[in-house]
Amino acid sequence: MSEQNIHNPKATSGAAHHEHEEASVKSATRLSARLIYEVIRRDGEEELTRPAASLVWSGIAAGILISFSVLGEAILRTYLPPTRGSFLIENIGYSRGFLVVILGRMQLFTENTITTVLPVMKRKSLACLASMLRLWAIVLTANIVGAFIAGYFMTLPEAFSPEMRVSLTELSQHAVGMGAYQGFVRAIPAGVLVASIVWMMPSSQSGGFFIILAFTWAIAAGDFTHIIAGSVEMAYLIWMNELAAQPAIFNFFLPVLAGNIVGGTAIFTVLAWGQVKNEVDHGTEAGEDG
C-alpha cells in the first residue's frame, strides 16, 4: 500500500470499495458463448478418454434411474384429480429421472449428442470421430440395458399398486404408439431441449436444477419423444408381451433415436458451433502467433 493511502483512509476505503465492485461485476457477468463452448468442449474431451468400463456402468445406471421420469409421471397421473390442468402438473414428474441422471453426472446418450460432438467439430479428425462413435455406441447400449432392467422391475406385481400399473401402461402405450414418422418429428425438439440444458448448465447459478426441471417438463408437456426415457416404456411393454420386437425397433426406437440425434447434433450443436467458430479459430491463431 502506498504512503499516500496510509495517510489517507478515504483513499484506502475507496480502493477497497472499487475492488469489491469489480468482484461483484465479474461474478454477475454472464459467461460468453465462447467460454460456454470451451467448458462443454473440455468436458467432451474428458468423456472421450474415459475407460469403456466406466462408460458402461455409468450408462447402465442412467438407463435404470431415468425410469424415475416414467414413474414420477405415473404417480402424479394416478393420484391427481382429473382436471383440465392435471396433464400439465403430472408432467412435472417427468423431470425426476433427468434430475437424478444429469446432476449425478451419469452417462445419458442424448447429452453426448452435443458434449462429444464439439471436440470433433474443432479437431476435424477421423480419430476423434471414431472416439465419439465408440462412446455413442457404448453409452447407448448401456442406457438400453439399464432401461430394460428398469422395465422388468416395473412389471413385477408386487412393485406397484394396480392403479399405478394402469397409469404406467397408459403412458407407455402412448409413448411408443405414435408411429415412426410422428415419433421422429417429435424427437427433434426433445433433442434440441436436452442439448439446450447442456449448453446452459455452465452459466447456471442454481446448479442447473431449475433448468433441468423446466426443459424436461417441456419435453413431457409438449408430448415430445426421448429415446432413453421412452426405451423404459418400450421395455416395459415388451416384458408385458404387449409390444413385439419389430414395431418396437422400427416404429419407435430407430425413428426416435434419429430424431434426437438430428435435434441435438444436426440442429443445436451446429448452430452453437456456428456462433463461436470464428472466435475459436481466432483464439487458436492468436495462441499460435504468440
pLDDT over 50 (residue 97): yes
Q: What average pLDDT does this structure show over 231-257?
A: 96
DSSP string of 2-38, one letter each residue: -HHHHS-HHHHHHHHHHHHHHHHHHHHSPPPHHHHHH
pLDDT tens, residue by residue, 2-24? 555 555 555 555 555 556 555 54
Amino acid 87: pLDDT: 85
Whether 138 and 63 have beta carbons less than 8 Å apart is answered as no
pLDDT over 60 (residue 269): yes
Nearest to 118 by CA among 270, 284, 287: 270
Whether pTM > 0.85 for this model: the answer is no
The CATH number of the structural domain formed by 31-289 is 1.20.1080.10
Whether 34 and 280 have beta carbons less than 8 Å apart is answered as yes
pLDDT tens, residue by residue, 159-199? 999 999 999 999 999 999 999 999 999 999 999 999 889 88
Residue linked to cell 382429473: 82
Domain boundaries in the chain? 1-30, 31-289
Q: What average pLDDT does this structure show over 77-88?
A: 87
Q: What does the mean pLDDT of the chain come to?
A: 86
Amino acid 121: pLDDT: 83
Q: Residues 6 or more apart from 107 whose CB is under 8 A from it? A: 47, 55, 58, 59, 62, 139, 142, 143
Percent of the chain surpassing pLDDT 90: 59
Amino acid 65: pLDDT: 97
Q: Which of 3-12, 69-78, 250-259 has the lowest mean pLDDT?
A: 3-12
**In one letter, which amino acid is 172?**
S
pLDDT over 80 (residue 278): no
pLDDT over 60 (residue 255): yes
